[in-house]
A and B are shown apart, each in its own frame.
Chain A
């Protein structure tokens, strides 16, 4: 979950999110490289009285500052595409869960074996128990088995929403009339929080997502108890 004064990403709980963290470190390093280069050159230009007012051509430096940025862009694009394709790998999910966005709550359907469906509303601040998180807790969490690949099918019953869980590196738009798919795999048990990520009306900020990742046998007990 997010915490006060946070600057970076949340801790990764899935292999894809770990890859995204490393990619971000790599790209930020390139950003700092270019920014420090530009800052140094600007400070150099501001602190010299030397000029050259008769420059006619500069073929060599123009070649360098065309080729070098192209190389840098390739160095960013290749890892980016690698992760993009990694997200789309065929991975034989063990479970399929459908989620529908509504104004202003999420509903979930586990229909692989039996028909299990429920709504997930945010717990209002006035009803929170001590220790619970404001604007993040829900009445019915999405319980899922940990360390297993799960297919999430995401859509909407009304307007655009977006189903996002930052610590798992997930964000998929919920579009009415369209079924979007994403794959979820958590390496750790625990609670993972997310919030609706597409403006959908007055209570857009008040329809959170809470995933509860537990061992398989607890997931099976929970799903049997929910029927």
Chain B
């Protein structure tokens, strides 16, 4: 029996490959951008806050303030 229609190989235009090439770059930009944003919006300000706090930190001064507030059982008021 002969086939009345001849089948031909489908012509691939490379649409999926082009789509993927474009979006692979986009994927990495988005994910690395998210990581960079996390670093500069959360991690760096946190590090800076701790560095600034401890740069000129005087533990005795903070102890005096807290002691005068009366929170310590072992140091009522601020007796020397």
Residues on A close to B: CB < 8 A? 12, 18, 21-22, 25-26, 28-30, 32-34, 36-37, 40-41, 44, 48, 50-52, 140-141, 143, 146-147, 187-191, 212, 214-215, 218-219, 221-222
Contact = CB atoms under 8 A, between A and B. Distances in A.
A58 to B, nearest CB: 12
Given A30-B35, A32-B35, A51-B16, A40 B27 contact: yes
Contacts of B50: 12, 18
Given A215-B60, A221-B74, A41 B27 contact: yes
B59 A37 contact: no
Contacts of B63: 146, 189, 214-215
A16 B40 CA distance: 22
Contact of A212 (B39, B59, B74): B74
A38 B61 CA distance: 50
Contacts of B60: 215
B19 A219 contact: no
Contacts of B54: 187
A33 B16 contact: no
B27 A37 contact: yes
B11 interface: no
